[in-house]
Every structure is written in structure tokens, then in C-alpha cells.
Structure 1
Amino acid sequence: MRTWFWTLLLAVVAVALAVVLRSHTGNVIFLVSPWRIELSLTLFVLLVLGGFVALYVALRVLSWLLAIPDRMRVWRGHRAQARDHDLLERGWTQLLEGRYGQAEKDLTKLLGQTRVSSRRVLAALSAARAAHGLGEFARRDRLLDAAREHADGNTGLQEAIATVAADQLLDQGRAQDALAVLTPLQEGGARHLHTLRLLLRAESALNHHDRVFTLARGLMRRNALSKVEAESLIDRAGAARLRAAAASGTEAWRSVWKDFKSDERVLPEIALAGAMAFESAGEPEEAARILETAIPLHFTPSLIDAYARCDADQVPRRLAKAEAWLQKRPTNVDLLTSLGMLCLNGQLWGQAEHYLQRSVQMRNDARTHALLGSLYDRLDRSQDAVRHWRLATTATMALPVLAGDLALPPADTNADPAHLDAEGEYSAYPPEFIPVSAPVEVLPTSAPADYVLDPDARAIEREATAALEPDPPAVAPARGDIDIEEYFDSAPIPVPADDAPRADYGTPLSGTAGTFESEKRNDDKSHLPSDKQG
């Protein structure tokens, strides 16, 4: 639209100029001694316009030529900026994808080649985050130091460096170092939500309950924390504050309790700590009111158990409240156990047994069995008490099942044959009795030999054992190990009382006694040692 406007304007001017020049004919004379130049007015106007255009073009061309170095510098700057942006974009993309190695490589390259200080700080911080993801904490610290060097006193960049460093230190578990980094920011007036969240993480890790309570309150008020997370932090920190103040032995816990808001006093841990504090101060009615307010909102076993621990004069009121809760939750095991405890405190034995039996039928709980054992012990039902105490033990831990003895029973060797008669038959009578009370000589033992490194150790040990031990008594070998022919050739044969053959020896002998004795002498001669023969 703009181009069309200027084109139309120039056309109108040209037409108007042509009309004027046509209606006003005249000459223009230039007297330049010794020359006289005469031109028509139309030609003069055209020459002026052409000269103006030529001069304008010449000046523009000259300006363009003189601006070449600046344009080249700007062009190089744009190219470097595009290259830096490409590296930064690629590095951040890889960092978000979790490819920390390649991301650190590209970002470190950007740190070395860029000339812009802010871009160097950004590259160093990004590379430090990638190194932290790789677990290279020493290299991460060097990159953070490089980022601080290139910050050049820029407050915004220094806060960014401190925030990144604190976040990574918290991930590493160094809460004290992270708090040291964040403290200057807090003193300098930094109230960014991310900085406050990091401060909350550091204070919570260091168990600074006062600071955690204040920070969690502030962040929840600014909707920077979810309600569930904020209430959990406030509950834990507030209960710790209240218990610490109550443990000091002074009345400082009352001021801490007054500092809580109404919706904070019904949180489980704060309500439990407050009830314990009032109970210790001798105000059980106030402790009961606190628990009665908190239990309908947070029906937790710890609150119910604390409500059941009371003196006998508090039992009727608390028992009525607990039974009202039981009507809404008839299958709540913890509530049934607490009712049993209340009945035990009030010596209502039948009701206590009823509630505890209902509870133990729903859940095999060691505490419930122990309460039943105490109840039955109080009622002189010792067998039931012992049974429930045993069940409490088995419910607490898994007792091992003792395996049966897998070894075979010892064999009865009283009727086993142990003697061999002359004919190779085993005798039926038992071996001679050896008294058990006879002293047994214990031989000295030596260290076990290494049969692998010392092959001769086995033979040496065998010889030493044979030298120390007495000769073992003769034991009849097994029947299968006896060569009957060898036995008859070597064993002495007793001389019979008469020459008549014996019926129990099997086949009768055909020879006489003299023949038998001569055969015996021949056998004895055949068994003489070889060195006496010949």
C-alpha cells in the first residue's frame, strides 16, 4: 500500500511538472567567462533532477562501500549468535531428554566459543546441571565456579547461580552447604518462590522445625505448596516444636500451643503432642477435648490409642465417645482394641474380652493377644493367658519350625555274630561285654596336614598315628572277606579229644589221628618263612 501511494504521488508530480514546463517556455543562460551557456527551462529542470538523482546514488554507493566492515562485523556476530543459539538449543534439548553426556559436551563447547558473558554463565550453569546428572560432582563444582567468574557482579546472574547450586547440593544430600548458599539470598531480600522452596527443603533436612513451620505457612498462604504437603510439614514441625517446649520443663509449650491456628490444632501429630502436654500438666479433660476434636477429622491409630490411655475416672466419658465412633466404624480393628483397653482400665472384664476377641478375630495382632493374656491372667485363667501370650509372640515374629531328625536310628547289634569259629561259621553268642565306665585314653592331636601342598604328609601322619595308638584288638572280618581255603591252610586246628570224627564238623574225616597230625606238620612246614627254607 505504501509503494502504491508513493508511485501515484510521483506520477502526479511528473504530470504537473510537465504541464508547467510546457506552458512556461523560457531559457536559462549561464555566463561563465569566456563561455555563455543557454539552455531551455525544461532541459535545465531535467538536468537538475538527473544531477540530484546521480548525486544521491553516488552518495549511497559510497556510504555502502564505507559500511562494508561494519556490515561484515554485524554479519559475523549474527552468524556466531545463530551458532551459539543452535548449540544452546541442542544442549538444552538433550539435557531435558536425559542425555547428559552429549548435553555437557555441546554446552561446554558453547562455553568455550561464545563471547557474551551472560551466554557463558548460562552455558556453564547448564553444563553443571548435566555434570550433576552424570554424578561428576567435582566437574560440576568447577563449572559453577566458572559461572561465578563470568557473572561480573550481575545480581540477577548471581542469584541464578546460587539457586542452581543450592538445588544440586540438596539433591546430593548436602543440606548444610545448600543453606550456606541460600542464606545470602535470603538476607538480600530474595523472596522468589523457588528460593523459598529450596530453603524449606534445606531447613527440613536439617530439622530446623521453627524455620520449617514458618516457611511452610508462608508458602501455603501464597499457594506455592499443595495443601496436603503443607499440612504434613506444619504437622510434623509443629509437633516437634511443642514436644521440645514441653520437654524443657517450663510453661513455654502453652505459648507454642496458642500460636497454632484452629485448623492446625486438629492435625494428627500436633493434636497428639498437645494432648500429651496437657495430660502431663494434669489436665486430662483438656487432653480429651483435643483428641475428641481431632479424631473425627483424622481417624488415625495413634490418636485412638492415645485416647484409650487414661485413668479410671476418665473411662466412662471416653468409653461413651468411643462406642459412638464404633457405631460408624464397626469393623475398625484399632478402635475395637482401644475399647478393650478402656474396659481394662475401668475393670470391665466382660466388655474388655468381648471387644478384644472381636478385634483379634479380624486381625492377628500381637498387642491384642497380649491384652487378652493380661486380662485372663487377671481372671486367674492361666492356660488362656499363656496361650494368648504365646500367640502374641508368634504374631510378633516368625518362629522357626524345628525339622525332624532325618538320621536313621542306630542298629541293634546285640544279636549280630562277632566271632568266627574254626570252620568259618559265625558264633551265635554275643561279644564279650566291655564296661562303659572304663576310662578311654585320649591321644594328643596335631594340626591338620595340608595334603595338597605336602604329598608326603598323609604317610607321615599315618606312621605317627600308628606309633601313638596301641594295637587294636582282633576283630573278626566280614564273612565275605575271608578266603576259606587260605584260612584252613594257615589257621591252627585244635586237636580233638578223641579220634572219632565230630558230627558238627560236617563230613567225617577218613584218616586216623596220626594221619591228621602228619598233615598238620606238613602244613606248618609249608608256612615257614622263605629265609629258613633250603
Structure 2
Amino acid sequence: MKRLVLLVAIALLAGGLLISELAKDSGYLLVSVYGYSLETSLWFAILALLIFGLMAWIVLRALFTVIRGFLGVTHYVMHGSEERNRNQLADGLVDFMEGNWKLARKKLLKSADRSIVPVINYLAAARSAYELGDRDEAQSLLAKAEQVGPQFQLATALAQARIELMDQRYEQCLAALERVRDTAPNHPVVLDILRQSYVALEDWPSLQKLLPLLKKHKPLPEQTLKELERRCQIYQLTQAVESAQGENTAAALHKVWQQFDTRTQRDTDMLIAYTQLLVQHVGEGEAEALLRKSLQKSWDDRLLDGFGRLKGDDTAKQLLVGEGWLKERPRNATLLLALGRLSLRNQLWGKAREYFESSLKICPAPETYAELARLMAALGEHELSTGYYQQGLKMIASNLPELPAPDASVKFGQSSGAL
């Protein structure tokens, strides 16, 4: 404050001195331009110049203020609108992720025309419309998304393919992907949707052609890839049977089987499928021999079950082989069941009964009860047979509710009460 008072005092003093000097001799100023002349006192000229400078400063300041205000409004209109559009898109996508389909569709379509990336709005809105059951609108929005630009053709095709896949319209799903298979042949999502469609259509030849790409570009679990490959290979076997004529069936089956690698030939599911085809079209003897060799290399109870069901070329030898395995696996219920069946094939009724009973002691199973019941009935032990059938049936229908039953000691139609 003191500094301001001092400056004002100095300014007043300087102004007074200046006025005093000017009063003594104000002088004059002569300006001549193109034949025109202007003469005035120096004091007036200085004063006029100061006033003009002040007015120019005020005008320029006002002009700058107006320009700055205009730029501010323009920036707000442009960037404020973009921010609102981004917020609307974000809100719509949040509703979309949360499954609020109706709200998502409304918000996404509202901001689509002004969106920075309208294809996102249209694709998400199309999925929302589909989830709301409006398939026609979904297709219309997908068409709008595709019109945004050719660079979004893949995204649009994938969105449409997913909708067709969920609708179980597999042919249409494949048609949607055909447009982008040339431009994105190795895209993981394209490959996965193709996989699902081929499996649903049971188009195993197409799936087999796709398998190398799936192994290379689509990170599927190893077990899933094995199952897909197995289905294709089983299809090859069945096709060989269907394509063969009469006596050529066995040769056709053998040819396809020999084309498979060792890992495939040792796969349990493949062995079961192959032996079933051998039984149907070649004979049980060859199927039994294959299962016997496979069990000697790698033990599997499912193969063992098949071995016990088949009639080999030499049933006595088949039984001896099985009994040899029993020395190493004396408590294998599946092996005991198989030996019981093989004993029946050799008409060794007592031995068969012993094997069935031993199997039941280790692991009771409805199938074993049924085999033992059938044997007892054939031997005339009908009461025992009925008991075994009942025990096996109880295992199958173990969740029966507790219900009242009639008294077995009272004949049907009689009252259990005293007269």
C-alpha cells in the first residue's frame, strides 16, 4: 500500500512538472501529408495520441475477449459433444455387458450417428436386438454396421455368424463366414465358429480339413483336439464300410486302419469303434484277437469288457488267456465278469457262477447280477435268480421313494383286519 501511494505521488509530481513546462512553452506540431497540413499544439497532440492509444487498447481488448469467448464456445460444442457421445457409448456398452439388452440398444442407437466408431454401436445394438427376440432389427443393424466401411467386414461377419450359431442356423452361419475366409483364413474366432458348425452338422470331412488350422492357430485344449480328430477318424472307418461292396468291406476297413498312426491305433475309443465295425462286417474272431493283443500292451477295463463279450476263434484259449491275467489282477471285478462270460462260452457253469459271485463281492454291478440271475434260472434256481434280478434292479432304480405296499401274507382282495 505504501508503495502504491509513493508511486501515485511521484506520478502527480512528474505530471505537475510536465504541465508547468508545457505552460511556459507549449510549442506546436505541424503535420503535412499529400498537400494537407495539420497544425496543433504539442500538448494537444500528445493528449490526442494518448486518448487514441487508450481507445485502441480498449477496442483490441474487447475484440480479443470476443474471439476468446467464441473459441471457448466452439471448443465446448465440439469437444463437449464428443465427450457426451463417448459417455453414451460407454453407458450403452456397460448395459450390454450386464445383459440389459433394452437399455443397451436404446443408448447405443441414440449415439450411433455421432459416434467416433459407429460400427461398435451397431454391432452391440444388433446383438441386443437379437437377445430381445427381434431378429429382423438385428439383421438390419448388421447391414448398417457393414456399410460403415470395408475395414469392418470381418467384425460384422463374426457378429452375424455368432447370431446364426446361437440360433442353430448352421448353414447360414457358414455362409456368413464364407465372405471373410479368404481375407482371414487363420483367424482364431473364425476357425472356432467353423469348428462348432461342422460338429453340429456332423460334417466330418470339412472338420478334418480344418483340423490342421485348429491345431496351429486356435488354442484348444489337447483333449478337445483329440476328440475332434477321433470323430473324423471314426467317420473315415464308417465311410470305408459304406463305400465298400460285399467282400471288399474287410479290406477297406483294414486299409483305413493301417493309415492311422500308432497313437491312434492304441487309443481306447478308436479300438472300441474299430472292433465294433469288425464284429458287424468281418467277424468276432478278428475283433477278439485285436483286443487281446491290445490288452497285452496296455491294460484298459473297457477293452477288457469287450474282450469278455466276444467269441474268439478258440474260446478255450481265450479263457486261459483271461485266467492268466487274473494272476496279476485277482481283485479286478471287470476281469472276473469277463471270465464268467468266457466260462459260459466253454459251458463251465460252476466256474462261471464262481467268477460272477467273486465279481459281485468286489464291486456289485447290475450287469453282473443280471448274468448271475440268468445262469441261476438256466440251472433251475429260480428263487435265487429272482433275488439276483431284484438286487440288480434296485441298483438301477436306487432313488425310488418310500411308498406303502400291501402285506405279502394277506391275499389280494382280503382285509388284513380281524372279522
What SS is found at the alignment partner of 1:185?
A: coil
Corresponding position: 1:142 with 2:137: yes
Distance (whole Å) between structure 1 residues aligned to residue 325 and residue 98 of structure 2: 52
The residue correspondences of 1:94-105 to structure 2 (distance < 5 A) are: 94-105=95-106
Q: Check whether the contact 1:235–1:270 (CA below 8 A) recurs between aligned residues.
A: yes
Q: Which residue of 1 aligns with 2:263?
A: 263
Q: Which residue of 2 aligns with 1:167?
A: 162
Distance (whole Å) between structure 2 residues aligned to residue 184 and residue 328 of structure 1: 60
The residue correspondences of 1:162-311 to structure 2 (distance < 5 A) are: 162-186=157-181, 190-222=185-217, 224-250=219-245, 251=249, 252-279=252-279, 280-282=281-283, 284-285=285-286, 288-289=289-290, 292-293=293-294, 299=300, 301=302, 303-311=303-311
Distance (whole Å) between structure 1 residues aligned to residue 119 and residue 293 of structure 2: 57
Q: Check whether the contact 1:377–1:385 (CA below 8 A) recurs between aligned residues.
A: yes
1:403 to 391, 400, 406: 406
Distance (whole Å) between structure 2 residues aligned to residue 221 and residue 336 of structure 1: 45
The residue correspondences of 1:109-148 to structure 2 (distance < 5 A) are: 109-111=110-112, 113-114=113-114, 116=116, 119-132=117-130, 135-138=131-134, 141-148=136-143
Note closer, same or farther for the CA distance 1:141–1:72 as it changes in structure 2 (3 Å cut).
Answer: farther
Displacement, 1:195?
0.7
Q: Check whether the contact 2:312–2:318 (CA below 8 A) recurs between aligned residues.
A: no
The residue correspondences of 1:18-167 to structure 2 (distance < 5 A) are: 76-111=77-112, 113-114=113-114, 116=116, 119-132=117-130, 135-138=131-134, 141-152=136-147, 154-167=149-162
1:482-506 CA-partner distances (Å, limit 9, x unpaired) = xxxxxxxxxxxxxxxxxxxxxxxxx
Note closer, same or farther for the CA distance 1:193–1:374 as it changes in structure 2 (3 Å cut).
Answer: same
Displacement, 1:408?
6.7
Displacement, 1:321?
5.4
1:254-298 CA-partner distances (Å, limit 9, x unpaired) = 444344333223333321121223343248346533564379768
Residues paired across the two proteins, number: 346
Displacement, 1:102?
3.4
Distance (whole Å) between structure 1 residues aligned to residue 181 and residue 84 of structure 2: 37
- 5+ residue gaps, structure 2, are 1-32, 36-62, 408-412
Q: Check whether the contact 1:124–1:144 (CA below 8 A) recurs between aligned residues.
A: no
What SS is found at the alignment partner of 2:347?
A: coil
Distance (whole Å) between structure 1 residues aligned to residue 155 and residue 299 of structure 2: 41
Q: Check whether the contact 1:366–1:391 (CA below 8 A) recurs between aligned residues.
A: yes
Displacement, 1:107?
1.7
What SS is found at the alignment partner of 1:152?
A: helix
Distance (whole Å) between structure 2 residues aligned to residue 228 and residue 258 of structure 1: 23
Displacement, 1:157?
1.4
Q: Check whether the contact 1:278–1:287 (CA below 8 A) recurs between aligned residues.
A: no
Q: Which has the higher helix share?
A: 2
- Alpha carbon RMSD of aligned pairs, Å? 4.1
The residue correspondences of 1:345-360 to structure 2 (distance < 5 A) are: 345-360=345-360
- 5+ residue gaps, structure 1, are 1-31, 35-61, 412-534
Q: Which residue identity lines up with residue 375 of structure 1 in the other structure?
A: L
Q: Check whether the contact 1:312–1:346 (CA below 8 A) recurs between aligned residues.
A: no
Displacement, 1:365?
3.1
Q: Check whether the contact 1:243–1:273 (CA below 8 A) recurs between aligned residues.
A: no
Q: Which residue identity lines up with residue 94 of structure 1 in the other structure?
A: D
Note closer, same or farther for the CA distance 1:342–1:182 as it changes in structure 2 (3 Å cut).
Answer: farther
Distance (whole Å) between structure 2 residues aligned to residue 328 and residue 223 of structure 1: 44
What SS is found at the alignment partner of 1:114?
A: coil
Larger Rg: 1
RCO comparison, higher one (Cα < 8 Å, 6+): 2
Distance (whole Å) between structure 1 residues aligned to residue 268 and residue 69 of structure 2: 76
Q: Check whether the contact 1:336–1:355 (CA below 8 A) recurs between aligned residues.
A: yes
Q: Check whether the contact 1:304–1:338 (CA below 8 A) recurs between aligned residues.
A: yes
What SS is found at the alignment partner of 1:313?
A: coil
Q: Check whether the contact 2:129–2:137 (CA below 8 A) recurs between aligned residues.
A: no
Displacement, 1:66?
10
What SS is found at the alignment partner of 1:186?
A: coil
Note closer, same or farther for the CA distance 1:88–1:196 as it changes in structure 2 (3 Å cut).
Answer: same
Sequence identity (%): 24
Distance (whole Å) between structure 1 residues aligned to residue 167 and residue 259 of structure 2: 35
